[in-house]
Amino acid sequence: MEPVTRIINWNVASWMTVLLYGGTSIAVGLSVLRLASRVRVWRAGLPEHVRPRWSDAMAKLVRWTSGRGKMAHDRFAAVMHGLILWGFFILFVGTTLVFLEEQTPLHFFYGVFYIVASCVIDVGGAAFLLGLTMAVYRRGVVRKPRLQSSAMANGLLALLIAIGVSGFVLEASRIAVDLPPFERASIVGYPLALLLRALGLSRATLQTLHQSLWTGHAVLSMALFALATSFLFRHVVVSALAVALAPRRSSGSLRPYPLLAATTVGTGRAVDLRWRDLLEADACTTCGRCTSVCPATAAEKALDPRGIVLGLQGLIDASAAASNTVSVPTALEKLTPQALWDCTTCGACNAACPVDIQVFDKIIDLRRQMVDLGAISPAARVALEGVDTRQNPWSHPPAQRNSWRESLTLPVLDVTHGSHTRKPEWIYWVGCAGALEPTAQSISRATAALFKAAGLDFAVLASEGCTGDPARRLGDEALFQSCRRRNQELLHATGVRKIVTHCPHCFNTFKNEYPDSDQAGETNGSGLEFEVVHHTQLIKQLLDQKKLTMRSKHTGSATKVTFHDPCYLGRHNGEYDAPRTVLDSVPGLVRVEMPRHREHSLCCGGGGGQMWLESAGAKRVEGLRLLEASTTGANVVATGCPFCKVMLETAGATAGKQHEIHVRDISEVVLDALDVP
Amino acid sequence: MNIAVCLKEVLDTRLPFPFPQPAAAVRSDQAVPIRLTNLADRAALEFAFHIKARVSQVGSQRDVNVDSIAAVSVCTADEEGALVYALARGVDHVQRIAPWSQPTAPVSTAMALARRFASGEFDLVCCGDETMDNASAVVGPLLAELLGWAQVTSVCEVRELSRERCVLVRKLERGHREVVEVDMPVVITFVADAIQPRYVSRRLLDRARQASIPVLSMPLSSPEHQHAVAGALPFWPSVEKLLVPRARVKKRFAPDANLSAGDRVKAIMAGGSHTQTSASSILEGDAGYLVEQLYRFLKHHEFVQSTREQTP
């Protein structure tokens, strides 16, 4: 009876096998050396403030490889990458089994195992080629604008296809010589072998074909091994690391600045960046999802998130190749400074990246270095100096801070002079915009009126200062820390443990950045341990408790309203439902959604310090968002952020639509519909 | 070449400064004055760095090299903020000169600085044109006079600089400029808006605060000190009379918002609004008369209820 197995390296001269293993070893060695040079650059980077946990890393890796990560946001890409990854993995394991069978005393490649292995390997190969065909379709036929087509990328794709195809024809030419019946398990190879036989190829021709294909396949495979850590192939290895080591923290919480206590100033060299940022730059797949969702890119500004990451990748290329890193151009020299200042820190890029690259973390770190070098715009300087000396980025006189409540009778907590008699349950944190920006002062007044109407036990502080959010996002970390310390002392002095704010930026700062939480979200004891809620959450709670009641009847036609998700409430803090629930409870309102909403919402253009910077793009982000809102036919754009209100209202006035579409905060909408006895 | 920059920490006089009143509670956020490095001095410091950067580029041709920039301030230990700022900005040396008397006056400041610079260590002294809290603008010229150096005021641009001479642009009134050439050494005073000073991050300021600032005390036997102790003029001029200009109606340069865009552009091009939509007037008189007129105005515009008509 014919044994159910095959002769490994059949029809191949022994010297060719030696060349194969020798060449493969050299190719792998080259790849390892190249990767080692990258690792050397990563290791030269600054330390991360949190250490990765291996259990977390493994869990994330399993989730990612099983297609449950952010890759699945684009289903076609997810299926394509899944087929290529798992197909390649099966082929790699199959090749390893063949190697073990030949080169070790182990003998298992026969009988049922052989049949099952042959079948599985063919399925893997077919999946691999199907995935590659999908990639060709996407790059060549669909031509997604975000995908950068380059000769190198196309060449690498062709190499993979050539390996897959040559592997199958190689197998078919081997099977076709004798056509053993058990080889029917090779579900692709066997039919191909029948095809070769049908072409009338002789045994000698098949053997020659087999030998040629073996040589070609071996050379291509060696090329693949040699390039495994280069160009686009690098992401296969490094992106897995990036996903596994991605931080587990709120996306709204910026990392501390590692150079804060250093005596040197960062200048954008590889050694001035964190090792994880360098690793992530190498993990970039250049898929362009970050760029496709970036509001600044949409507004034709200088910022291209993928360009930032690839710029850092170029820095690693240069640093890895250079013996003297001093001569390497720095990131601040390679990147356009304006691109770094165009970021709104909306987090859309981070949310979209399939390999968990934290793009705006890198932008903020580079901003910090530019701030230390003093290389910032006059507008940014004025905002930062305003936070420093006048406790608000608008540089309004501090004495004006309470002007918003001059006509109101509100309980005021003055801890500095101890003028308060009773400790309230809640502190209403008004924030700089709500206190000083005329467009946003109406939000403060409406919110305070709602709280009074609900009988909430609250007070406003007599002496608020900036939370430091603009300072941190504009890159002055030490200034943020000073604001943080001042406010912590102030809030501790009040003895109140509940804070409500209508500003998502203040909300995010109190919730995520003041507690000084570590990776696990545990406070280290030095931070602020308060319950912090956004006013939309508290208003929803008050409505649920019937402490606020709406007018039962609505006269007149219904008003169409659309809700704009503030980035620091939605994407960074996951609150999408409370504002919508509140709006839905207002009689006479019909809520419609914009095309981009909830997790996919478009920024208003005011975050990341943009409120105080000059807009350098051909378009304005707020204009794009207002245009999107107007396509819904809504008369009112409701939002839950003073910055969003200011930006969108400005966009309305600029477009001459201020009478067609009104921008209102949720508190104002609710106050109008309130049933006041 | 060594450059010295004279700095001063001043009150931010752009903000209203509330004076404590016995009858009213003054909150901390209103009562704490905001102090900062005088804006014109910041411009002078920035120019010193620009000169250093520029000279380092062309220095080999002109045989000039800026060896160091030193910052000097005549102030008390509580007013060292300007020197901290200078350190954070990157000067090579700082020095505080303890004043002979308190409060410091422009004349005594100039004399203290002149004593410091008399050694001939510096080739160029940069000062702010005037301080925000005093605006006498005499320290620079007086310092030059005491040193016997050349002096140029209201400088907004440095065109050329060599070991022997420098070419400067002065900012005159109504947009005029004057290019002057002067021999070295020289005292230059810079206008505040001539240059955008580089931002100094809080991190660098915090680090600079940890540095110890050397203090130079002037000898007690000096005639200046004797004068100061005796309270003799001219160290601290006394104010004898304040002459307040007559109030004038401001010319309206902003066009009426109700006009069309075209008309608004026309109005701006014409140098002011071509329609007068509201009448403005300046009231003068005693307090009783002013209160009465103000009340009538508020009542006319319905800011006050008519039921409370009797007593304004």
For A93-139, how does the pLDDT look when each residue is reduced to its tens digit (9 = 90+)? 999 999 899 889 888 888 999 999 999 999 999 999 999 999 999 98
Task: Give residue-wise pLDDT tens across range B23-52.
Answer: 455 444 445 678 899 999 999 999 999 988
CB A152 within 8 A of CB A231: yes
Q: Is the pLDDT of residue A556 over 70?
A: no
In chain A, which among 372-391 make CB contacts under 8 A with chain B?
Answer: 372, 374-376, 378, 380-381, 384-385, 388-391
Of A368, A514, A505, A273, the residue nearest B202 (C-alpha) = A368
Asked if pLDDT for residue B67 goes beyond 60, the answer is yes
Judge whether B121 is closer than 8 Å to chain A, CB to CB. no
**Fold designation for A391-542:** Rossmann fold (3.40.50)
Pick among B28, B45, B199 to test the A interface (most A CBs inside 10 A): B199
Reported as half-sphere exposure (CB side, CA atoms, 13 A), residue B36 has a value of 17
Closest-CA residue of B relative to A368 is B201
Q: pLDDT tens across A497-549, in order?
A: 999 999 999 999 999 999 864 434 444 444 557 899 999 999 999 999 999 98
Q: Please, what sign has the CA dihedral across residues A594, A597, A602, A603?
A: positive
Does residue B57 register a pLDDT over 70?
no
Q: How confident is the model over A339-349, as a mean pLDDT? A: 94
pLDDT-derived band at B61, boundaries 50, 70, 90: very low
pLDDT band at A617 (very low <50, low <70, confident <90, very high): confident
- Tell me: the pLDDT tens digits for A202-251? 999 999 999 999 999 999 999 999 999 888 888 888 998 998 888 777 78
H or E element in which residue A369 lies? helix A359-373
Does residue B201 belong to the interface with chain A, where contact is any CB pair within 8 Å?
Answer: yes
- Residues A399, B16: C-beta atoms closer than 8 Å: yes
Q: How large is the average pLDDT for residues A267-283? A: 91
Nearest to A331 by CA among A374, A271, A268, A280: A268
Is B71's pLDDT higher than 90?
yes
Which band of pLDDT confidence, cut at 50, 70 and 90, is reported for residue A644?
very high
- Run of H or E including B9: strand B9-11
| CB-CB under 8 Å, A390 with B34 | yes
Assess whether the region A14-239 and the region A559-672 belong to the same CATH fold: no
Q: Which secondary structure element, helix H or strand E, spans residue B124, and what is its range?
A: strand B124-128
B307 touches chain A (CB under 8 A): no
* B131 Cα to chain A: minimum distance (Å): 18
pLDDT surpasses 70 at B229: no
**pLDDT for res A50:** 75
Flag whether residue A369 sits within 8 Å of chain B, measured between CB atoms: no
Looking at residue A677, its pLDDT comes to 60
Interchain proximity A397–B16, CB inside 8 Å: yes
Architecture per CATH, A559-672: 3-Layer(aba) Sandwich (3.40)
Confidence of residue B55 (pLDDT cuts 50, 70, 90): low
**Which of B27, B50, B91, B209 is best to mutate for the A interface (most A CBs within 10 A)?**
B27
CB contact under 8 A, A390 and B201: no
Nearest to B199 among A263, A384, A416 (CB): A384
Contact B196/A378, CB-based, under 8 Å? Answer: yes
A·B CB contacts under 8 A: 71
Q: What is the token pair recorded at A437?
A: 């920006």
- The per-residue DSSP string of A341-366 comes to HS-----HHHHH-TT---HHHHHHHH
Interface touch B29/A401, C-beta < 8 Å: yes
Bridge partner list, B216: B97
The domain defined by A247-375 folds into: Fumarate Reductase Iron-sulfur Protein; Chain B, domain 2 (1.10.1060)
Q: How far apart are CA A599 and CA A604, in angstroms?
A: 14
C-alpha distance from A376 to closest chain B C-alpha (Å) = 7
pLDDT > 90? residue A308: yes
As a CATH number, domain A14-239 is 1.20.950
Q: What are phi and psi of B90, to 5 degrees?
A: 115, 20
Q: Which residue has the higher pLDDT, B161 or B224?
A: B161
Rounded to 10 degrees, what is the CA torsion of B249, B252, B256, B260? 160
Domain ranges of chain A: 14-239, 247-375, 391-542, 559-672
Bridge partners of residue A256, in order along the sequence: none
Any CB–CB contact under 8 A between B206 and chain A? yes
The whole-chain average pLDDT of chain A stands at 90
Mutate to test the interface with A, among B10, B84, B201, B209 (most CBs of A within 10 A): B201
Q: Does residue A664 register a pLDDT over 70?
A: yes
Interface touch B25/A478, C-beta < 8 Å? no
As for the ipTM of the complex, it is 0.85
If we measure between CA atoms, which residue out of A299, A473, A253, A465 comes closest to residue A376? A473
pLDDT at B4 over 70: yes
- Which domains does chain B possess? 2-229 (3.40.50.620)
